[in-house]
A and B are shown apart, each in its own frame.
Chain A
Amino acid sequence: MADTRTADIRTLLGGGSPEDRLSVTHLLVGAGFLIVGGILQLLSLMALRFAYLFPISYGRLEPAANLSLIIGFATISLVGGVYYVLPRLTGARLAMVRFGGLGLLGMAGLTVLGLLAIFLGFGDGDQPLGLPWWLDIPLAGVLFVPALMTVATIRQRVEQRSFVTLWFVIGGVVWLPLLYVGYLLADVPAASSVAVAYSQTFFSSGFVTMVLVTLGSGLTYYTVVKELDVPLASRQLALVGFWSLGFAAVWWGAAQLLFGPGPAWVAGVAAALGLAWPIGAIANASNVTMTLEGSWSDLGENPSVLSGLLGLYLTVGVAVVAALAGFRSIGAVASLTAFWEAIEYVALSGVSVLLVSAMSFSALPRMSGRELETARKARRFQRLTITGSVGVLVSLGAAGLLSGYSWIGGANSAAFVPVGEGWQTALGTSYTTLLFVAVLFGLVLFAGLGGYASILFGTLTRGRAIPQEVLVSREMGDE
């Protein structure tokens, strides 16, 4: 037993089936980018509060954090989860495994190059990623890799009966590159300023709902059912969740530009269809909750199921807040403020790490033959992540509402009319205090993100050896 404890990660990655090795590598690389993205995200939040202290402005920190978290962590980790479940759901070997390795190399390499480009001043400043065109185009190509591998694997499937996770996987991996291409198409130099603004909210909101929450929820369905060995409560509810998430994407993003120079009908449509996100989120959370019926007592002993449940509940909270801000009455106060920053901040770090951990806490021991390290650390990670996420959501959201009301108050009292810049003074200490509180909760959230990465690396290097699931071909097993 002792010698297995000394095995390093490289050796571990040498074992198991090629698809599981690929999946584990994705999870490890994703965890690395999570740390980088978490630091950058926290620094960007600090730069909002203490702008004069930072040599790098919020304007560069934020796209760098987005790039690390969207592509480096969430995309790479969720794609790793897709490669884990695909063979197990289809009964077929993962197609084009080496192609998947190149895809990982491409995503990780382009993320690193993108970070360098942003910090060295070669970015194009477009939200949310700010990549120059010479990185945008190859990244769009690389994002097609998981979609191609998924389709190729499904075409060879043996299992003819689809578990619901397969829908979410198909939707997530297909929508990801299409979203990116759409974002690039509307962002060509000839595009109008309005088109560019909508393309940016289109991608950032679309990624959260159509990729992050779609894939995360689908993988959580798989994890919960597999871990508890109980059937899913409702296939129909999962169907509602899936199609609602696919349809929700644009509308909570478009709501950020409420009352802007776009057509007037956008406001009404955004308010009505923006509700699709909470509908989808509630459908998935309630479905998993019903599936857990009778297993609640085991929840504390099962970190992956608890992470999934917490992730889905946090998604519901974020989705409800976002949908509310889509209504004209609230949007008149909240749009353009830190209120939206709160939603994106928590979605990209808190929601994503909880949903990813639900899958990885279950999958990693099975793929690596190492017991999760440890249940106690997992509970601490969950506590920190939930506390930090809720704290950031509330404090940053409140700061946003406060600034919105201050603008209205200043306009009514004519305080801003002469100079237009007086609003900053008018916000006063309440606003800066709330931003400071958000920074404190951001630190707690970052501790949670670090806890996740620590568990992953700890499992692979120090986890106790346990029987390992290995995918072997029928021919191999028969020999």
Chain B
Amino acid sequence: MSDLSAAAAALGIPEPLVQRSAAARAAQLGVSVDEILAQWAGGQAVPAATAPAPAAQPEPETAEPTPEAAAPAPVATPDVVIEVPGAPAEPAPAQPAGPYKPPVLVGAKDNPMTVLAGAVGLFVIVFLVGLIGPSIPTDIPGARTSHIDYSEAALHGQQVYLVAGCAACHTQMVRPVVADVGLGPVTLNDTNQVLGTRRFGPDLSDVGSRVAAGQIEAIIGGLGDHPGHDLGEEDMSDLVAYLAESNTSGGQPGAES
């Protein structure tokens, strides 16, 4: 059995870890790795490091002070401590007494479960007010609706529209703002079109009143600056049907507005 294996067995730590720890310790002490391993394999303690290794002391956050700790106080031993694995049995050198420095990674005594309950409660409020609230249908004037009675083919075309990612660039939402003047009737709450959140390409809520079906198909295929989409025959015809039926103003392509 090599010194490495023997040391690993003696320490109960995986060999790669022992190897790296030994290398680090050897570099620190100015001795060879083999010497360190031989010492560890024989169960001998190595001389204390001249300078304390960064991780050789228990983590400050795990050393819990008593709540009243204004002066050095007995430290409760936690279940988990941080150690350099190569020297588990090494007694810590006596430290000169100095001014007490409280651990920096502890806070007030509290119950994290309260925070958990608060986080869940807050989410419920945010969900109700921020998502459900805006989604509740609102009364709209009976004179007009944004709901379109799409054909079966057009409804399938709407799925094609979604899957192809059209909604990433096109809105189907006309807002009552100056920027949207001329795009078609303002979209109401009962719309069944795909609203979208970005308008890198034209708004398509009323595209059927402006562009003929044949031209729509050509654009989808890559006419002009539009990226070409290689759709199957049925998907293409259904998508064209969806867009051609997206006609909220009731106009006809080519007709003078």
Tell me the A residues contacting B by CB distance below 8 Å: 1, 3-4, 7, 11-12, 14-16, 47-48, 51-52, 54, 57-60, 62-63, 87-89, 91-93, 121-127, 130, 151, 154-155, 157-164, 166-167, 170-171, 174-175, 178-179, 182, 186, 191-202, 206, 222, 225-226, 229-232, 235, 243, 246-247, 249-251, 254, 256-263, 266, 269, 332-333, 335-338, 340-341, 366, 369, 403-404, 407-408, 410-412, 414, 416-421, 423-424, 465-474, 476-477, 479
Contacts and interface: CB of A to CB of B under 8 A. Distances in A.
A91 B79 contact: yes
B200 interface: yes
A62 B167 CA distance: 11
A477 B180 contact: no
B62 A91 contact: yes
A476 B21 contact: no
Given A127-B197, A254-B134, A477-B88, A15 B182 contact: no
Contact of B200 (A58, A170, A411): A58
Contacts of A87: 80
A14 B16 contact: yes
Interface string B135-152: 111100000001000000
Contacts of A57: 164-165, 168-169, 227, 229
A174 B119 contact: yes
Contacts of A51: 225-227
Interface in B177-206: 177-184, 187-203, 206
A63 B198 CA distance: 13
Contacts of B48: none
* Residues of B in contact with A, size category: 35 or more
B131 A411 contact: no
A92 B79 contact: yes
Given A57-B164, A62-B168, A479-B88, A471 B80 contact: yes
Contacts of A186: 131-132, 135
B162 to A, nearest CB: 3
Contact of A336 (B12, B108, B163, B171): B171
A88 B82 CA distance: 9
A332 B179 contact: yes
B66 to A, nearest CB: 10
Given A57-B229, A174-B120, A159 B12 contact: no
A158 B64 contact: yes
A162 B199 contact: no
A322 B79 CA distance: 45
A115 to B, nearest CB: 14
22 contacts: A54-B227, A58-B200, A60-B164, A122-B163, A158-B76, A158-B78, A162-B107, A174-B119, A192-B190, A193-B191, A193-B195, A196-B195, A197-B197, A198-B135, A222-B105, A247-B122, A259-B176, A263-B138, A424-B201, A467-B54, A470-B17, A470-B82
